[in-house]
Structure 1
Amino acid sequence: MSDIVISGYYGFANAGDEAMLAAMVEALTDLEPNIKLTVLSGNPEDTRRRHGVDAVYRLNYPEIVRVLAKSRLLISGGGSLLQDVTSDRSLYYYLSIMMLAKKMGKPVMLYAQGIGPVRGSLARGAMRYIGNMVDIITVRDEGSKEELKRLGVTKPPVYVTADPVLALHPVDKQVGRTILRRYALEGATPLIGISVREWKDWPHYKQVLAQSADAIAAEFGARILFLPMQWPEDMEAARKIAGRMKEPATILQEECTTNELLSLVGNLDLLIAIRLHALVFAAVMHTPLIGISYDPKIERFLESLGQTHIGTLQDVMVEGLLEKMRQLWPQRREQDRMQEERIHALRDKAFKNAELALELIRR
């Protein structure tokens, strides 16, 4: 019996999404150890090996029908699945899985999703129609709740919780130190991490990050480490930035597990990130962070920590990044203590997602 089927962006070597799935599996099995989970994955073999769950190929619809028939709940999430900025095809895919489950009489839950932006009129209509069919919705921020209202999704109960990854507990830092040793960075201090992604081949933010990293290395005597979250795409973006730098920089050359990346982030003195889940990893590991926004989800997450971003990919400036760095550096430990209470509250909210999912099954 497949108790819960999980649909999301899994099996694509994206560290943030794999961390979300790991956190969901951990929370659900903590609450219900005997629950059976099946994940719709782009790489079922990797998902089975990595997470210890059943998995089927996400485009094998006969197999999806088979596992849904045996299920008691479809979870769609977490992550930014329901948006048409990166791709409108993926939006329709996730909506089609939700529609299929409802046509088969199965409860559907949107799990800790970041909603929108949804811009196309057809996409907005599809969101409104299918969104109002689902049984319960949890979103990871207030902005997503407001986006649902704008889309006209008003029938299901909506709870504002938090990103599932925030339910993970900090991990031991020794694993990260072992990895850093391979790059001759163990004990390097200060060690500044940078997490980047490619976005529309824009050159501005790459030049800004290259100049900022050079200035940080010179002014603070820092070593620079690029941490790819999407493998291997983020490596190419990191190479473009490192290639513009005058100071030496190191790029992590290997695909890491969730725990390995968390441990690495825990060894940093500060993280500068474009990727959302790099920022979430820093919050989990109590590492000071600076965020650059390419999507409203970055701004919403930083707001939940009582912070603001230093600019978008189009308007971020070297002076602004360095000013933030100089403000944060002397008081980074004090800021961490101030944020600890916020992060603890967010961790409780993240765990609430799993509690609501199991309550839906029991009902």
Structure 2
Amino acid sequence: MLSISSALQGFTTLTTSKHDSGSARFELVPSDLDDLLVGSPKICIIGNYGQGNVGDESLLAGTLSLINGRGDLTVLSKNPERVAALHKVPAAAMKSFRGVWALLRSPVVIVGGGGMFGAGQPPLVSLLAFVLLIEATLGRRVGLIGIGVYPGVPGIVAWALRRLSSRASFVAIRDEASREVFSGAKLCADLAFSVTPASRDELNRLRKTHGIAAEGLMVMSLKPAPDIKLIQSQVEVACIAARAWLNAGMHHQLVFVCLSALGDFGWGRTHTDESMAAAVINQVKGEVPSYSTRVVCITPELSPALAKALIGSADKVVGARYHAMVFGASMDRPTLGLVFEPKAQRFCDEYDISQFALPYGDVQHLLGWVRN
């Protein structure tokens, strides 16, 4: 495992002003989609939904809030049963007759957010770019809402997306990096900003179920990184923050919020949010008094609304997961990003969020942020 003293050097607390990229960013509201949804048409929504990732589900929840009940919609997903149960909307499998029929019959097709276009994208996503281009060329209304396109996207796919940009009825990108493909698009806040947090009653029920206190709470959301050394260093940094927080007061509590059931970067179930949380708990449990009642781990079972409400109730938020940072920022909570991905760094830069750049960081600065 990496030595903290030798490997972690370079913590930064950024002081750039919000939205200083030179382009105005706006938070989408339902009226922004009035032209796209005129006539309350049949709508087909496409995205990486139903895969056990709360961040992706928040993109769908944000999209649905913008549609605001207009139109007869169907969501295409690899797991339509999960989508239907979580969001209470009709859903169909992407590779099914019902899914293909929903796409063909819908005059409006919406891709609801996320950075699906980039290095390592699956073949189905590459195909989607051409399907959308054909739909728009045939006169269908295509909406790309809060979309991200990143370095490494195959050239032929970038070609299709550039042509789609001029044909789509509505295009809003979630960061400046996507302008290389969607040069004239509007810059919008991540769709998770549009998610309405769960009610106080719902949050209190969650607290009661898991034994979560109403005060003195740090929420931590970890994410498997591309290589094992980054995973190990993330666990070590999380241990340092956990010890500092829990030992600063007996009323302090740490809640791990696991936002994905599977590890990214091909890890699957080998390394997950939950297994990383367990590694931290295993290391600190002998050093923290009454740890069994002061450390809680919530598996990826939360709705986006509950996840946002819980993170919004925390005194401190430590996140490697992008949407943990988004929820923290959108709920105006003190947030620290454990950063190893460009998209996370860009988000922290823009929203003036403190960040610890993995695998290097200054532990004393980290401790100061935790204790402040």
Same fold by TM (over 0.5)?
A: yes
In structure 1, the residue matched to 2:25 is none
Partner of 1:40: 76
Separation in 1, partners of 2:95, 2:202: 36
The residue that corresponds to 1:352 in the other structure is none
Letter in 1 for 2:102: V
**Structure 1: 5+ residue runs without aligned partners?**
330-363
Higher helix share: 1
Does 1:195 find its partner at 2:229?
Answer: no
Confirm whether residue 112 of structure 1 aligns to residue 146 of structure 2. yes
Q: Higher strand proportion, which one?
A: 2
1:282 aligns with one of 317, 328, 334: 328
2:24 aligned residue:
none
Distance 1:2 1:59, change over 3 A: farther
> Counterparts of 1:92-131 in structure 2 under 5 Å?
92-99=126-133, 101-102=135-136, 105-118=139-152, 124=158, 127-128=161-162
Q: Does 1:215 align with 2:207?
A: no
The CA deviation at 1:77 is 2.7
Distance in 2 of aligned mates of 1:14 and 1:319? 33
Aligned partner of residue 116 in structure 2, secondary structure: coil
SS of equivalent residue, structure 1 residue 4: strand
Cα pair 2:45 2:74 within 8 Å, conserved = yes
Q: What is the CA-CA distance between 1:212 and the residue it aligns to?
A: 2.3
Shift of 1:255: 0.9
Cross-structure match for 1:11? 50
Offset at residue 300 of structure 1 (A): 2.7
Change (3 A) 1:144 1:255: same
1:310 aligns with 2:310: no
Paired AA for residue 259 in structure 1 = A
Offset, 1:105: 4.2
Matched letter for residue 107 of structure 2: R
Q: Which amino acid aligns with 1:226?
A: F
Contact 1:8 1:94 in 2 (8 A): no
Matching residue within 255, 260, 283 for 1:230:
260
Q: CA deviation at 1:227?
A: 0.4
Deviation of the 1:124 alpha carbon: 4.7
SS class of match (2:248): helix
Residues 318/94 of structure 1: CA separation in 2 closer, same or farther (3 Å cut): farther
**2:325/2:335 contact within 8 Å kept:** yes
Identify if the C-alpha distance between structure 1 residues 92 and 241 changes in structure 2 by more than 3 Å, giving closer, same or farther. Answer: farther
Tell me, in whole angstroms, the C-alpha distance in 2 between the residues paired with 1:26 and 1:216.
36
Find the aligned partners of 2:138 and 2:99 in 1 and give their Cα distance. Answer: 11
* Unaligned segments of structure 2, at least 5 residues: 1-39, 263-271
Q: What is the TM-score normalised by the length of structure 1? A: 0.76
How many residues are aligned here? 313
Q: Read off the aligned partner of 2:82 and give its amino acid letter.
A: D
Higher mean alpha-carbon deviation, 5-14 vs 280-289, is at 280-289
Distance change in 2, residues 1:53/1:104 (3 Å) = farther
Q: Which amino acid aligns with 2:370?
A: M
> How much does 1:104 deviate?
5.0
Q: What does residue 178 of structure 2 align with? A: 144
The AA in structure 2 aligned to 1:287 is R
Distance 1:174 1:83, change over 3 A: same
Q: Per the alignment, in what secondary structure is the counterpart of residue 322 of structure 1? A: helix
Match of residue 296 from structure 1: 342
Matched letter for residue 239 of structure 2:
A
Q: What's the secondary structure of 2:220's corresponding residue?
A: strand
Matched, 1:77 2:102: no
Deviation of 1:74 after TM superposition, in Å, equals 1.5
With over 3 angstroms needed to count, the CA separation of the structure-2 counterparts of 1:309 and 1:193, relative to structure 1, is: same
Distance 2:203 2:217 in 1: 13
CA distance in 2, matches of 1:78, 1:216: 34
- C-alpha contact 1:5 1:67 (8 A) present in aligned 2: yes
User: Contact between 2:135 and 2:142, CA under 8 Å: does it hold in 1?
Assistant: yes
Q: Percent identity?
A: 24
Q: How far has the Cα of 1:256 moved from its partner? A: 1.5
- Following superposition of structure 1 onto structure 2, how do residues 331-342 of structure 1 map, counting pairs within 5 Å? none
Find out whether 1:324 has 2:369 as its counterpart: yes
TM-score, normalising length: structure 2: 0.75
Contact kept in structure 1, 2:51 and 2:79, CA below 8 Å: yes
